[in-house]
């Protein structure tokens, strides 16, 4: 099978490319090699033997159509990620993520490429699953600046105000995007579902949780918290932990995420009915707090201990952890990299160069 990997020179995309090659697939990469992901030099990284590289923007119709020639399936990894700097980033997020996806899907429809694996995200859900002792499973409302300023970080039951117990969120949970990046990731899934219905294609959305591992970009706001902590330690600075560090996340190694792409790609034609989109959470299934990750990285790097700042970002959520049982049950995927081993590797692994130009 010949697979086009958009964003295949990026952090997750490059691992997906290597996993596909190792699984025996032909691979073509389409990547704009933007400075925010690749550093100021923005040079294309070397590709595995036999992988064709096309430098171009996923929003460029002509480039996308050329990259899709003779392709059997697409792994769509190209996206602008993270919360960014401020609301001025909105046009860039919508352009990269939603317009780019629309251009890609239009070209796939025209060229009759019928299989899509989409890099989704846990941000689809907003806050994760919560249970109230009196009212069962509930969805807390938006976080309020007044509560956060007062150090009240934990959400409460919207009906009675009692404390909530966080749990694992399943794929059936409704979308509840709570920042601009999240809104674009939900829109990507809706566009992919519309494409599948209109063309009879088959789409899978892999809702990645907190992906970490070798090759993350350094010193950029367009990255996950693990990258920010690792970048600080590389500068000899303590990781700066927002809120009280008790935010629960599911940290999954990039190698396991790449393996999920391979597992899903091989099953799309057989397991996913024509004209549909199927979503799968991709997480380790074992929650860790943000504070735990900062402390583990500091210890593994031999660097300064984390600083708990008490600061917050209003667009963040408190707890979001996955149930990946559907992916395990239906496709036999299992995460292979234990948290402790992955953190030790990540602490010593090189990061991508400093990004000095905004997307």
pLDDT in tens, 234-284: 999 999 999 999 999 999 999 999 999 999 987 765 678 899 999 999 999
Cβ-based neighbours of 282, under 8 Å, separated by 6 or more: 206, 207, 208, 209, 252, 256, 257, 260, 322, 324, 327
- Which pLDDT value is given to residue 268? 62
pTM listed for this prediction = 0.93
How many CB atoms within 10 Å of residue 13? 26
pLDDT in tens, 278-334: 999 999 999 999 999 999 999 999 999 999 989 998 888 999 998 999 999 999 999
Is residue 87 exposed (0-12), middle (13-18) or buried (19+ Cβ within 10 Å)? Answer: exposed
Percent of the chain's residues with pLDDT above 90: 82
Q: Indicate the pairing of strand 288-289 with strand 202-208.
A: unpaired
* Average of per-residue pLDDT across 151-163: 95
Distance (Å, whole) CA 113 – CA 120: 20
- Which pLDDT value is given to residue 355? 44
pLDDT in tens, 24-53: 999 999 999 886 666 555 677 788 999 999
Residues facing 228 on adjacent strands: none
Thinking of the domain 2-128+169-354, which architecture would CATH place it in? 3-Layer(aba) Sandwich (3.40)
pLDDT in tens, 196-226: 999 999 999 999 999 999 999 887 766 789 9
Quick check: 188 pLDDT over 80? yes
Least trusted range by pLDDT, from 51-60, 75-84, 119-128: 75-84
Percent of the chain's residues with pLDDT above 70: 93
Least trusted range by pLDDT, from 58-62, 81-85, 286-290, 314-318: 81-85
Whole-number average pLDDT of the chain: 92
- Residue pair 50/21 in contact by the 8 Å Cβ criterion: yes
Cβ-based neighbours of 353, under 8 Å, separated by 6 or more: 38, 39, 40, 41, 218
Distance (Å, whole) CA 39 – CA 319: 31
Helix boundaries (H) for the chain: 11-22, 35-38, 61-67, 90-93, 100-111, 145-149, 180-199, 225-234, 254-271, 290-301, 325-331, 339-348
Cβ-based neighbours of 306, under 8 Å, separated by 6 or more: 229, 238, 239, 240, 241, 245, 291, 294, 295, 298
- Which pLDDT value is given to residue 266? 72
Maximal C-alpha separation, the chain: 60
Quick check: 357 pLDDT over 50? no
Distance (Å, whole) CA 217 – CA 56: 20
> Would you call 214 helix, strand, or coil by DSSP?
coil
Q: What are phi and psi of 294, to 5 degrees?
A: -60, -45
* Average of per-residue pLDDT across 332-359: 81
Pair of tokens at residue 91: 């046009």
Q: What are phi and psi of 129, to 5 degrees?
A: -85, 135
* Average of per-residue pLDDT across 171-190: 94
- Which pLDDT value is given to residue 91? 92
């Amino acid at each position: 099978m010949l697979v086009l990997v958009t964003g295949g020179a990026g952090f997750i995309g490059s691992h997906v490319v290597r996993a596909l090659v190792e699984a025996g697939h032909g691979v073509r990469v389409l990547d704009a090699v933007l400075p925010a992901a690749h550093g100021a030099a923005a040079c294309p990284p070397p590709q595995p033997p036999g992988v064709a590289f096309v430098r171009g923007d996923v929003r460029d119709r002509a480039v996308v159509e050329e990259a899709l020639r003779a392709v059997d399936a697409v792994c769509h990894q190209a996206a602008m990620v993270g919360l960014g700097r401020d609301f001025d980033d909105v046009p860039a997020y919508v352009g990269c993520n939603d317009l780019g996806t629309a251009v890609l899907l239009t070209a796939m429809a025209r060229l009759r490429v019928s299989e899509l694996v989409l890099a989704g995200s846990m941000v689809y859900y907003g806050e994760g699953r919560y249970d109230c002792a009196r009212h069962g499973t509930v969805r807390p409302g938006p976080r309020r600046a007044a509560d956060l300023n007062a150090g009240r970080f934990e959400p409460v039951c919207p009906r009675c105000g009692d404390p909530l117990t966080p749990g694992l969120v399943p794929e059936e949970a409704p979308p509840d995007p709570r920042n601009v990046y999240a809104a674009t990731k939900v829109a990507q899934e809706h566009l992919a579902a519309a494409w599948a219905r209109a063309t009879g294609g088959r789409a899978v959305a892999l809702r990645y949780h907190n992906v970490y591992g070798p090759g993350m970009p350094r010193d950029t706001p367009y990255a996950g918290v693990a990258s920010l902590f690792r970048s600080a330690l590389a500068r000899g600075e303590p990781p700066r932990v927002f809120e009280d560090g008790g935010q629960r996340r599911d940290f999954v190694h990039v190698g396991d995420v790449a393996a999920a792409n391979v597992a899903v790609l091989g099953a799309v034609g057989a397991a996913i009915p024509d004209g549909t989109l199927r979503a799968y959470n991709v997480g380790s299934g074992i929650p860790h707090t943000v504070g735990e990750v900062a402390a583990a990285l500091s210890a593994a790097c031999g660097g300064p201990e984390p600083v708990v700042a008490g600061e917050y970002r209003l667009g963040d959520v408190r707890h979001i952890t996955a149930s990946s049982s559907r992916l395990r049950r239906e496709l036999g995927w299992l995460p292979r990299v234990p948290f402790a081993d992955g953190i030790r590797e990540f602490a010593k692994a090189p990061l991508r160069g400093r990004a000095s130009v905004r997307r």
